[in-house]
Structure 1
Amino acid sequence: MTYPDEFLPSLPPQQEALFAAAAADYARYRPGVPDAAVRVLADILRGRSAPVLLDLGTGTGQVPRALLPAVPALTHIEAVDVSRQMLDQARNALAPVLGHCTLTLVHAAADAYEPLAPLPGEEDSGPDLITCCRSYHWMDGPAVLTMADRVAAPDAAVAIMGDGSLWTHDADWTRALREVIQSYLGSERRAGASATYAEPRRSYEEDLAASAWSDVTERRFPVTRTWTPATVVGYLHSTSFAQPDLFQDRHEAFEAEARQLLDAYAKDGVLQEEAVFTVLLARRPGTAS
């Protein structure tokens, strides 16, 4: 069953709008969570009688969608995102596969999240696992970790995960593609229509070390992905650095140039990405199982 959405205040308007138009393309073209990383997350919840997941910056619900078959005992999911359109995509992806698991979609900035009223018959012990997948860099990290300490179960874990993007990936074809984007939009990486992307002032590891979640284990999983020129262009539609509206009336010209470049680099119609998916698994000291 899907419970009603709940609105929480303090949504940054620019963030709420950032991915609104891209939600459908995000659902279609963004890579999922690698199986090896899903197994690490599932191990945290295995053996718990009624595990609860809190997924921050859930986007289209990739993390809970991957965990549902891996953790049959999963009892409840709270999926939080600043974009109503992303939450709609998450609902579409999760509702058909929930089984006995309940779902709450929470329209909020991650640091503004507060637990909703407990469902009838459920113990209000807090989430057992809190995840941020490819989303932590958009958040007020220290505030999110403080919130996580306040709401999580005593022996919970936090997982901050990601693998960069085609902007950051270092290959001949991605470097050439980045140069084409920059020739249209300027050298700085865009972050939507009105901003440029700023690197976090501290690393994720530094944020965790300064928080209650300072017992950290890093897991790295090599991932080989294959793209086609068409799926790369679809992926670009879902990004903050190459959304169609950034190009205004030059988008058609950009897309034609990008397709020509990608076709030239593709071998038998395929482009390869060698990525590393990193999981920072954090617990409060003295609670590691």
Structure 2
Amino acid sequence: MNAFAGTPAYYRRFRPGIPVALATLLDQTAPTGSPRRLLDIGSGPGLVVHALRQYFDDLVAVDAEPGMLTEAEAMLRPTLDAAQRLQLRHALAEDFLPPEAWQPHLVTCGRVFHRLNQPRFLDRLSEYLAPDGVVAVFSDRSLWTAGTPWQQTAREVVQDFLGEQRKAGDGPFSTPGPPYEEVLRASSFSHVTSAVVPVRRQWTISQVLGYLYSTSFAAPHLFGDHRDAFESAVTNALTPLADSGVLTEDNAFTVLTARRPNAHEGR
């Protein structure tokens, strides 16, 4: 079963997306062009494209899960003006090729980068990224790895129901590979810069449950007949930790932007 089976509607509704500061950073990092082109890999329901849409004329969102693309269509299409063009493509990142002569100026890749054959993806990307184009790899801490007391408590409830080992759908979560910066420096995009973008979020308990159901480690189908019991357990565990019903999270996005060395020298 797909690791994100049953999650797309929750993903669209409960994932917080990227902050304005990160969208601004990506806009300022990418080269200009006319038309200016964005490619988002592992787009999910289109949260990154939604945050960046004002900066680009052509937008392509790629995902391997058809349900995610259905949600992306519903989220993105009504927000675009008549001059913008949106394409939704069902493909693996490592296999994707854009339309002939279509060269993106910015390629964004969030947490999905962990799941990719990274060298193969970057090799394929080198075939079509604009000569001065930028690839951006970024992620914040998920609930599984974040450290505030309420997040630790929510994770412990998930483990009580599903076991100590982190899941990715019906299988185990794969262990991390080499650091992303090392992988990028070994590719054609060896000029790498890094930044950290902090973000503060506030959650209700129902939003936390929705977020959990958007993840591969707590997808709804994993709980089977125990889903109601799980929701009650989360609610009971988090209620004492909420301040007037609100749970606060301080997080940060780690952002790596990479380009070809010769493109950097020409800027």
Is the contact made by 1:52 and 1:128 (CA closer than 8 Å) also made in structure 2? yes
Q: Once superposed, which parts of structure 1, at least 4 consecutive aligned residues long, lie more than 3 Å away? A: 44-47
**2:258 alignment counterpart:** 282
Find the partner of 1:102 among 85, 88, 91.
85
Measured after TM superposition, the shift of residue 125 of structure 1 is 4.9
Where does structure 1 lack aligned partners over 5 or more consecutive residues? 1-13, 118-123
Find the partner of 2:39 among 44, 47, 54.
54
Measured after TM superposition, the shift of residue 45 of structure 1 is 4.2
3-state SS, counterpart of residue 41 of structure 1? helix
User: What is the identity, as a one-letter code, of the residue corresponding to 1:241?
Assistant: F
Q: Say if 2:75 is the partner of 1:93.
A: yes
Question: Equivalences for 1:10-159 in 2 at 5 Å?
Answer: 14=1, 17-45=2-30, 47-69=32-54, 71=55, 74-99=56-81, 100-117=83-100, 124-159=101-136
Measured after TM superposition, the shift of residue 238 of structure 1 is 0.7
Is the contact made by 2:53 and 2:59 (CA closer than 8 Å) also made in structure 1? no
Is the contact made by 2:63 and 2:91 (CA closer than 8 Å) also made in structure 1? yes
Distance in 1 between residues matched to 2:53 and 2:173, nearest whole Å: 33
User: What is the identity, as a one-letter code, of the residue corresponding to 2:155?
Assistant: R
**2:215 alignment counterpart:** 239
Find the partner of 1:189 among 166, 177, 194.
166
What is the TM-score when the length of structure 2 is the normalising length?
0.95
What is the TM-score when the length of structure 1 is the normalising length?
0.88
**2:199 alignment counterpart:** 223
Q: How many residues align?
A: 264
Identical-pair percentage: 41
Find the partner of 2:179 among 181, 184, 203.
203
Measured after TM superposition, the shift of residue 189 of structure 1 is 0.2
Is the contact made by 1:244 and 1:251 (CA closer than 8 Å) also made in structure 2? yes
Is the contact made by 1:45 and 1:51 (CA closer than 8 Å) also made in structure 2? no
User: What is the identity, as a one-letter code, of the residue corresponding to 1:116?
Assistant: P
Post-superposition Cα deviations, 1:249-283, rounded to whole Å, max 9, x if no partner, equal: 12211111111111111011111111011110101
Distance in 1 between residues matched to 2:204 and 2:58, nearest whole Å: 37
3-state SS, counterpart of residue 152 of structure 2? helix
CA RMSD of aligned residues (A): 1.3
Distance in 2 between residues matched to 1:285 and 1:109, nearest whole Å: 27
Is the contact made by 2:4 and 2:219 (CA closer than 8 Å) also made in structure 1? no
